[in-house]
Structures are given as structure tokens and as C-alpha cells.
Structure 1
Amino acid sequence: MLASAATALIAAAPPESAPACARKDALGTSRVLAIDARTYPRVGLNSFPQSLPLADHEVVLTFDDGPQPPYTQEVLAALAHECVRATFFLVGKSSAAFPELVRGVAAQGHTIAHHTWSHPMLSKISVAQAKEDIDLGIAADEMALNGASRTTPSTPFFRFHYFASTPATLDLLQSRGIIVFGADVWASDWEEMTADQELKLVTKRLDESGKGIILFHDPKAHTAAMMPAFLRYLHDSGYRVVHIVPAATPQRNADIH
């Protein structure tokens, strides 16, 4: 009963406009979903009790640990070919090293999100150290994207490395209005595998789940090589891509310390 009501609510809600696509056979972006931290403070069933309000066969594509040439560009090319928009959780050090690539990701309409400065396991360091690394990462991403170093993110989306959160760090981010992302489907592309092996693994997991937030890593060569075939699989199997963006909130101008 509740599941039916939720599906009806999703279907009834008018989607924000998705980008038009010139290629008629492209997968495309089905709709845009605006979310806020009050309603969805933590999402992803592999880590938290709730996920995003997706209908059956709707997926959100997310990529961690970039930007990293040449593989981020290869992923971007595959997404562009299919007129698909995704969310990129960036490591601050990489953003500082490749700011033009950060701007390129944003210029193609993708969402820029955050993934710390130095990729530490935040559960193994103090809360003060974790806050510093989170803030340094946000500041580096913002500098690359907007030319201003600030610790209030333009897009308040964050993902922990290894999903290694703690109650204190979760509370810290929630107090700042930052949504924490887990995932619903893992590609496990941090492991050594071929592109074909990854495609078989992630499509099997997705078909078992039926929908959800999918986690990839764009600096991985096998993920970049696999992405065109994976997007074709989504198209041919009736999946629809949802692009996530932050809901409009007032006074996102001043830094929060």
C-alpha cells in the first residue's frame, strides 16, 4: 500500500525539465530530481535506511574520485553521446590539479559534489581532522569551479570514502545542510577487473535491485571503457536516468564554520 502510494506520488509530481537530445536513439535524461537535506539528509540503502524517491527502473549515475585524465574525459564522452547527466563526487586534490576538467564536467550539465581533499578514511581520524579535510576538499572544488575558495558548497552533496562515516561526522554534515550519499548499487570497480567483467557484475546487481543510485569511479580505466556499453544496456533494458540537483534554499552565500 505504502509502496503504491509512493510510486503514485512520484508519477504525479511534475519533473523538472531534462535536457533535450538531438540523437533520437539516445538514452537521454528522463527527469531532474531536486532534493534537500531536510527531506533526504542521508540516502543510499547500502549505508542508510532510505534512498531517493525513484520509481521502478529509474537510476541515478554517480562517479567518485575524479577528476582524472584521460578517463574522466572518456566517461564524459560516453555520457554526452547518450545525452545523460550524472553526479561527480570530486576529490579536492584532483580538482586543484585539473580545474579545467572540473569546469568541463559542470559545463556539460553534470552535478559537482564533494569527496574530501585527500581521500582519507574519515572514521579513523578525529572529528576535527575530518572536518578540516572535508572543508579543504569543498574549498578546492569551489575554487576550481567558481574561482572562489569557500567551505559552503554550491551543491551540498557529499560522499564518504569507503562509506566510512561516524555519528559525529554525519551530525556535522547534517548540521550544515549537506546531504550524505551512500549508494544502492555498487559496480565494485575499485577491484581489478576487465570492462566486460564490470559490465556483467553491475548489470546483474542493477537487475536484482530494479532501480537506485549507482556508484562508479571515473578514474578507473575499465569503468571508462565499459560506460558506452552500460548506457546502451540501460537504454535497451528500459531503464531511465534521473539527474539529481540541490533544491533551492535561501542564503547559501555565506561560509559555514
Structure 2
Amino acid sequence: MLLAALLLAVAATPSRAEPAAPAGAACPGRADALGTARVLTVDPAETPRVGRKHFPTTLPLADMEVVLTFDDGPRPGRTDAVLDALRRECVRASFFVLGKHALAHPALTRRIAAEGHTVAHHTFGHPLLDRMTPAAAEREIDHGFAAVESVLHGRAGERPTTPFFRFPGFATTPALLDRLQQRGIVVFGADLWASDWNDMTPGQQLDLVMARLDSSRGGILLFHDPRLQTVQMLPAFLRALKSRGFRVVHVVPPRLRTASAPP
């Protein structure tokens, strides 16, 4: 199987953790690493909603370019393993974190930012917002913003530092979409799913995701970092991207502030 061959290749590489490299730079100690091909700035004023699974438009990606996104973390024992795999390949991703998990695991949340990944937002507790009143839904969104901002920056402002948001379960409403656009928040959908909310083996998930990528030739890809099958699959998946000629794009807001680069 594809997974078995790629796991052998991963096992043959050095196990030490190399420091994260700037996007587009060579990967220290790993000449064959996947790396991050380029950084794409996403301006809310120009791009309020992205992801063809949910909206008419998506990010301006070239053929064979992939944006890696992870939802529902951070979770100890899972998210840190995802970060280890990304660091080995010098790959940058976007993590749509839950506010309650950020508060419960602040060091892990700060590690995501410190290693150069984009820390985005996914509400505080993962309710389906289309089942709430607009006012209650917006309070839930703001609660998530405030929790993540307090962990990363010590306080919450009127607008999150990284104005990227994904609806839990993609349960949107026209009123909430309009409200977030007014506030300058980019709503992320996805172009393709890993479907890792369904139980499957890591090998089955790898085959599924690569088949979808081969068909779509890139796009915004959705994973869930708390899912064990995703954690176990990820090193082989990154090597598969490299071997098939895919390139990773890292998305950032016009002004990115992280725990490693305070204002």
C-alpha cells in the first residue's frame, strides 16, 4: 500500500526535530523536505469567503498548490505530533482552534504560533451556530476570539489578530456571513475534505485524500488534528505530496502577529 511504502521512507529519515524554517526557504538538514512553497496573504476586504465546498470562490491557488488546515484542536498527544510532522518537512499550516481548548492547553496553542503556523478561529465550544439566535451565535464566536487572543497576546481586542474563521460543521446563515464580512473576518470553507470525522485506517485515509487531491489538483484541504488516524497518516501524506509534485501554500492575514513575534 501507499502508506506502507511512505512510512518506510519516513522512518529512514533522521528522527531529531529540526527548527522550523521560513516559508519558501530550504529545510535545515532535509534537502528532500516538502517545504512551504510560498506565503499567500488573504485580505478580508478582498476575500471575505473562500472554499468551493461552500462558496462560489476560493483562494487564488495555482495548479497543484495545497493549503493545509486543521480544525478542533489543540489536543495534547495529537496536535503536538502533527506539529512535529510539519516541522520535519518545514511545512506551514493553519489551525482553526477552539477557544476552550486554547485555554485548556495554552502552551500547545502558543507552540502552534511560535512555529510559524497561522492560528485561526473555530468558536469557543463548537456549537452549530445556525441553531442559535444571531446574537447568541455572535457571542459564541467572540468568546472563541477572546480566548485565543488572551492565550497568544495577553488580551483580546475588538478584532482578532488573525481574522480567519471557520464555522463548526459549516453551519452558516446568511445573517452571520454578512455580519462577519462587515467585521472584516474571512470565513474559510474548504475545497476538499479528508473526511477524517469518519473512522478509517490511516492507510485508507491516505488513499482517499490523495485520490481527491489527484482529481482536484490542489485546493484548501481540511483535516482535524485531534483525530488519531490523521496524526498517524500525516508523515506519509506529506511525503506523498512531495513525490506527486504538490506544493504547500501558507495563508496569512495582511498583518500576522504570533507568539514568537509580538507587536
TM-score, normalised by the number of residues in structure 1: 0.89
Maintained 8 Å contact 1:41/1:179: yes
Runs of 4+ in 1 over 3 A off after TM superposition: none
| Structure 2 equivalent of residue 18 of structure 1 | 24
| Structure 2 equivalent of residue 4 of structure 1 | none
Q: Which of residues 210, 213, 221 is equivalent to 1:203?
A: 210
Q: Which of residues 86, 91, 100 is equivalent to 1:84?
A: 91
Q: Which of residues 109, 113, 135 is equivalent to 2:116?
A: 109
Maintained 8 Å contact 1:99/1:144: yes
List runs of 5+ in structure 2 lacking aligned partners: 1-21, 257-263
| Structure 2 equivalent of residue 252 of structure 1 | none
| Structure 2 equivalent of residue 214 of structure 1 | 221
Maintained 8 Å contact 2:23/2:35: no
Maintained 8 Å contact 1:143/1:150: no
TM-score, normalised by the number of residues in structure 2: 0.87
Moved more, 148-157 or 105-114: 148-157
Matched, 1:155 2:168: no
Q: Which of residues 43, 48, 72 is equivalent to 1:65?
A: 72
- Per-residue deviation, residues 102-150 of structure 1 (Å, max 9, x unmatched): 1000011000000000100001110011001000001001111111133
Assess, with a 3 A threshold, how the Cα gap between structure 1 residues 73 and 17 changes in structure 2: closer, same or farther. closer
Q: Which of residues 99, 112, 117 is equivalent to 2:106?
A: 99
Task: Give the letter for the 2:118 counterpart.
Answer: T
State the percentage of identical aligned residues. 58
Residue 17 of structure 1: CA displacement?
5.6
Maintained 8 Å contact 2:23/2:92: no
Task: Give the letter for the 1:72 counterpart.
Answer: T
- Per-residue deviation, residues 145-169 of structure 1 (Å, max 9, x unmatched): 1111335210000000111100011
C-alpha distance in 2, partners of 1:17/1:65?
A: 24
List runs of 5+ in structure 1 lacking aligned partners: 1-15, 250-257
Paired residues in the alignment total: 234
| Structure 2 equivalent of residue 169 of structure 1 | 176
SS of residue matched to 2:72: strand
Residue 39 of structure 1: CA displacement?
1.4
| Structure 1 equivalent of residue 194 of structure 2 | 187
C-alpha distance in 2, partners of 1:89/1:193?
A: 23
Residue 20 of structure 1: CA displacement?
3.6
Task: Give the letter for the 2:252 counterpart.
Answer: V
C-alpha distance in 1, partners of 2:144/2:220?
A: 23
Task: Give the letter for the 1:213 counterpart.
Answer: I
C-alpha distance in 2, partners of 1:17/1:98?
A: 26
| Structure 2 equivalent of residue 131 of structure 1 | 138
